[in-house]
Amino acid sequence: MNASLSPAIEAFLSATGYAGAARAALPQDAGHRRYTRLSGAVPRPALLMDCADAPRVGLTPEEDLLPFLRIGAHIRGLGLSAPEVLAEDRAHGLLLVEDLGRETHAGLLDAGADPVPLYVAAAEALAALHAAPPPPGLPDYEAPAMARMAALTFLDWWWPTTFGEAPSDAIRGEFAEALRAMLEPFAGANGFVHRDYFPANLMHLPDRPGARRVGIIDFQDAARGHPAYDLVSLLQDARRDVAPAVRRAAMEAYLAARPDLDAGDFTAAMAAMAAQRHLRVAALWVRLARRDSKPSYLRHGPRCWALLAEALEHPATLPLRRFLDRHVPAGLRQNPAALKETTA
């Protein structure tokens, strides 16, 4: 079915030979970008990426495209698989990119595929991505930025929904200090951080050799920070359970490909990154439910809180654990009671 699109998109598709394409909108996730699969009478299968909604996150459409273009070129330059850019209209925030197919790692896992080969392949591709210096111009994702991002969900949304009032300035300062104390020991890694490296953003490309058999997408929000964050995203997934044996196999593959790393130091960094990520994302589901009317994400809350509890067992997370023990009793470390009836 050929859905009607905006005049700017219709003109873009006509100019690039895709006017007669069959069009299928891809399901939209929690982000603002829209994707349409183009097939049929086309030069080659492609995806249309539309950033017209960028103003709602404070960007122009062109500003929204530039990180995708720059980071995608970096990934491909390392010999890894990221979608090739086929055409662009920066002024309108439009791209045509290579269609890497329909087989995500997430879809294969949901269909019952053996998880070990998929996670090992993902870990090996990630190791290759991390082994190279990051491209210039990436934003920092170090302690100050990570503390700020956690506060934007945990303090601004989870806290008032749970306690019925906004946190005090003293609580905000104490929280920022706890995050700083936990994360600063791991500052200065200056590595590439994808920030959302998990099965839904990984494509299965079995005909490509080596690490190229993993297609990497949704990388436009990448930053410079500690690469342990991406291992947490992959192996402690906010949206699916990962068996301990699968975690171990993938972790071993990653470390084998990165002999420059100290395993103990990296494990400690993973615990600190995990504590920040799981707290931030557990509260992100609350923001999506309340602000964006997307309550279905709340179903992932129990997993995130359980993963946070696991991370807090590591000594590297002691500053955050002390903050939570003072202010958030264990019985409240869950989806806010006020939202339980909205969970889909």
Q: What is the pLDDT along the chain (344 residues), one digit of tens a residue?
A: 445 578 999 999 999 999 999 999 988 765 688 999 999 988 999 999 999 888 888 888 889 899 999 999 999 999 999 999 999 999 999 999 999 999 999 999 999 999 999 999 999 999 999 999 999 999 999 999 999 999 999 999 999 999 999 999 999 999 999 999 999 999 999 999 999 999 999 999 999 999 999 999 999 999 999 999 999 999 999 999 999 999 999 999 999 999 999 999 999 999 999 999 999 999 999 999 999 999 999 999 999 999 999 999 999 999 999 999 999 999 999 999 999 755 54
Domain that holds residue 305: 105-342
* Residue that terminates a domain, selected from 63, 78, 98: 98
Query: Domain ends where: 98, 131, 148?
Result: 98
Question: Quick one: 175 and 280 in the same domain?
Answer: yes
Q: Are residues 199 and 167 in the same domain?
A: yes
| Residues 79 and 151 occupy one common structural domain | no
**Are 91 and 176 in a shared domain?**
no
The packing angle between helices 115-131 and 228-235, to 10°, is 170
CB distance 81 to 100 below 8 Å: yes
Is 1 among the domain residues?
Answer: no
Does 174 share its domain with 46?
A: no
Per the structure, how many domains does the chain have?
2
| pLDDT score, position 31 | 67
Pair 15, 132 in one domain: no
Asked whether residue 183 is domain-assigned, the answer is yes
Q: Residues 55, 194: one domain?
A: no
Q: Residue 1: what pLDDT?
A: 42
Q: What is the pLDDT of residue 3?
A: 54
Distance CA 336, CA 342 (A): 11
Strands 223-225, 140-141: parallel, antiparallel or unpaired by DSSP? Answer: parallel
DSSP conformational letter for 158: I
Single out the residue in 64, 98, 132 at which a domain terminates.
Answer: 98
Please, are residues 218 and 196 in contact by the beta-carbon 8 Å criterion? Answer: yes
Q: For the whole model, what pTM was predicted?
A: 0.92
pLDDT of residue 157: 98
| 192 and 59 in a common domain | no
Do 123 and 263 have their domain in common?
Answer: yes
- Asked if 91 and 142 sit in the same domain, the reply is no
Say if residue 137 is in the same domain as residue 61. Answer: no
Residue 2 resides in a domain: no
